Amino acid sequence: MPDMQPLVSDFVLKLKRRKVEGSHAVARQTAELLRSVVSQHRMGSSANQAAALADAVRAVGEQLIAANPIELAVGNIVRRVLHIIKEEDISATAVGIEGLSVAVDSDDEYDSEHDDRPALSAAVLAAHARNALRAPSLQTLLEDIPVSPAISLTASSTGDSDGKSKSGDKSSTRKLKHDVIAAIGDLIDEIDSCYEPISEQAVELIHQNEVILTLGRSRTVKEFLYAAKEKKRSFRVFVAEGAPRYQGHVLAKELVEKGVQTTVITDSAVFAMISRVNMVIVGAHAIMANGGVIAPVGMNMVALAAQRHAVPFVVVAGSHKLCPLYPHNPEVLLNELKSPSDLLDFGEFSDCMNFSTQDGSPLLNVVNPTFDYVPPKLVSLFITDTPIDVALFGEIACWFNYCRAVGNQ
């Protein structure tokens, strides 16, 4: 797909130059790019259509991930798309060789969990997922899709289809591509509408006359609070301003426009105010495999304050932020040091950085990290758009499975 290269390198450049930032924007654009990669992909007459398609996506995905490793959403979306391809491939195979599919599938399965529901074929599931206008929930993903033996499965199943359905090849590959594109479209819709299922739960969590504390500005948190307000809940919000980017100021403005009682505090006042707070609700940049959260800088302090005063610490995040990686890998960076100009006015401090009169070594150093890591034990609850809002233990268990499932691809 040589015609895709300019688009890909353009997006790579944008990621590199940090022109596209923020999980939502990055996730959406990655999905869109991958969709056009898939649609431009020329289906050869080679044996394994799905594998070729997956390879193409993987190749692009690797470039994108390398372009800005801190935007973990890129990797998440690439993995989701790979997952979609595999899923569609299974269903296509299932449709193509109607009678055999169940037998083949169940032959390959040795998962006891799957044996419980042999009736539900992958095709039905995929169709269901497409029609439901939102992604399959984590549970269904984990329970119904045979992922762990994925590679062997695709190999074997295509081997089957290769031998048995040469005639239907052309139509089936077209169908596969079409289905994949449609599924990616659904994924994009899901990314766009991830706020809705999350904010649906707002009323259950925010009670009358409660005080909520948040840090910085997260669109998910904003929608969450809006939803509660729309349901005529009256509550107050403390917004920690989120230095040095002061996104909290923007959030405060937006909340006031909707008629929410808002108090802006400095980040350093979090400990002072936390005793009056009923719940902390924050957004995240990414949620890691161990349940740790990568969030805007200052979040760990808020989490510690919440733990100290036994205030629930709730993280709301769309499922595109769920990342099957562990945060101990320094290669993933987990942080990005931005320009010190957020903190200091260059002109005012220029005399502190006059190296000619300072013995050559810089005496003034400014560190401006973007993210904090909040360890899992400080998080009371995750709210995502997939319908699991179980307690932490269950969450992590699901996590583990999900990560194994998605991460393997």
Partner 1 sequence: MSQKKSRSRGGGGAAAASGDDHEDLARPPPLQAVLLADSFTLKFRPITLERPKVLLPLVHMPMIEYTLTWLESAGVDEAFVFCCAHSHQVKEYLERSGWAGKAGAGSMAVTAVESHDAISAGDALRVIYERGVIRGDFVLISGDTISNMCLKDALQEHMDRKKKDPLAVMTMIIKHSKPSILTHQTRLGNDEIVMAIDPETKELLYYEDRADNSQLYVTIDKDILTNNPTLQLHNDMEDCYIDICSPEVLSLFTDNFDYQHLRRHFVKGLLVDDIMGYKIYTHELRSGYAARIDNFRSYDTVSKDVIQRWTYPMVPDVISNCDRSESRLHRQGIYKASDVTLSPSAQIGANSVVGSTTSIGDHCKVLNSVIGEGCTIGKHVLINGSYIWDNVMIEDGCKVSNSLVCDGVHLRAGAIVEPGCVLSFNVEVGKNVVVPAHSKVSLLAQPSNEDSDEELEYADTNSGVTDSPPFSSMRSNGDQATVPSEEDESGTSETGTSGVVGYIWTSGDTGILEEWRQSIAPIPKEKLEELQHAVSEDDGSEDESNNPTLPDKDDSWDSVVEDDDHISKFEKEVEETFQRALGGGVNRDNLILEINGLRLAYSLQHADCAGAVFYSVMKSALVAAQSTNDTLLKTTAEALDKWKDLLRNYTKTVDEEMEILLKFEEMCQETTKEFSPLFSKILPFLYDTEVVSEDAILRWAEEKEHADESDKVFVKQSEAFIQVYVLH
Binding interface with partner 1 (CB under 8 A): 4, 6-8, 10-11, 13-14, 16-20, 29-30, 32-33, 35-37, 39, 181, 185, 330-331, 333, 337-341, 345-348, 350-351, 353-362, 365-366, 368
Please identify, using beta-carbon distances, which residue of 18 and 117 lies nearer to partner 1.
Answer: 18
In the complex, minimum distance from the CB of residue 370 to partner 1, in angstroms, rounded to a whole number = 10
CA-wise closest residue to 133 among 193, 46, 206, 216: 193
Please identify, using beta-carbon distances, which residue of 333 and 392 lies nearer to partner 1.
Answer: 333
DSSP 3-state of 329: coil
In the complex, minimum distance from the CB of residue 148 to partner 1, in angstroms, rounded to a whole number = 32
CA-wise closest residue to 211 among 252, 259, 262, 250: 262
Q: Where are the alpha helices (DSSP H) in 281-391?
A: 299-308, 346-349
Helices (H), strands (E): how many in the chain?
18, 9
Cis peptide bond prior to 244, omega within 30° of 0 = yes
In the complex, minimum distance from the CB of residue 134 to partner 1, in angstroms, rounded to a whole number = 18
Rounded CA gap, 208 and 203, in Å? 9
Encoding tokens for residue 84?
């979609």
In the complex, minimum distance from the CB of residue 247 to partner 1, in angstroms, rounded to a whole number = 16
Please identify, using beta-carbon distances, which residue of 250 and 273 lies nearer to partner 1.
Answer: 250
Please identify, using beta-carbon distances, which residue of 178 and 404 lies nearer to partner 1.
Answer: 178
Please identify, using beta-carbon distances, which residue of 188 and 227 lies nearer to partner 1.
Answer: 188
Rounded CA gap, 341 and 360, in Å? 21
Rounded CA gap, 390 and 398, in Å? 10
CA-wise closest residue to 25 among 344, 273, 321, 225: 321
Please identify, using beta-carbon distances, which residue of 99 and 330 lies nearer to partner 1.
Answer: 330
Task: Please state the φ and ψ torsions of residue 389, each to the nearest 5 degrees.
Answer: -130, 50
Please identify, using beta-carbon distances, which residue of 10 and 230 lies nearer to partner 1.
Answer: 10
Side by side, the strands of the sheet bearing 371-374 are: 286-287, 293-296, 371-374
- Characterize the bridge pairing of strands 279-282 and 210-215: parallel
In the complex, minimum distance from the CB of residue 61 to partner 1, in angstroms, rounded to a whole number = 13
In the complex, minimum distance from the CB of residue 11 to partner 1, in angstroms, rounded to a whole number = 5
Query: CA geometry: angle at 314 spanning 312 and 319, to 5°?
Result: 160
In the complex, minimum distance from the CB of residue 53 to partner 1, in angstroms, rounded to a whole number = 15
Q: How far does the chain reach from its first CA to its final CA, in angstroms?
A: 22
Please identify, using beta-carbon distances, which residue of 59 and 272 lies nearer to partner 1.
Answer: 59
Write the DSSP assignment of 117-128 as a string of letters.
-TTS-HHHHHHH
Rounded CA gap, 378 and 231, in Å? 29
Rounded CA gap, 202 and 388, in Å? 14
Q: Is the dihedral of CA 62, 68, 69, 75 positive or negative?
A: negative
Beta-carbon contacts of residue 210 (< 8 Å; ≥ 6 apart): 235, 236, 278, 279
DSSP 3-state of 270: helix
Please identify, using beta-carbon distances, which residue of 13 and 47 lies nearer to partner 1.
Answer: 13
Please identify, using beta-carbon distances, which residue of 46 and 341 lies nearer to partner 1.
Answer: 341
Please identify, using beta-carbon distances, which residue of 37 and 205 lies nearer to partner 1.
Answer: 37
Rounded CA gap, 308 and 310, in Å? 6
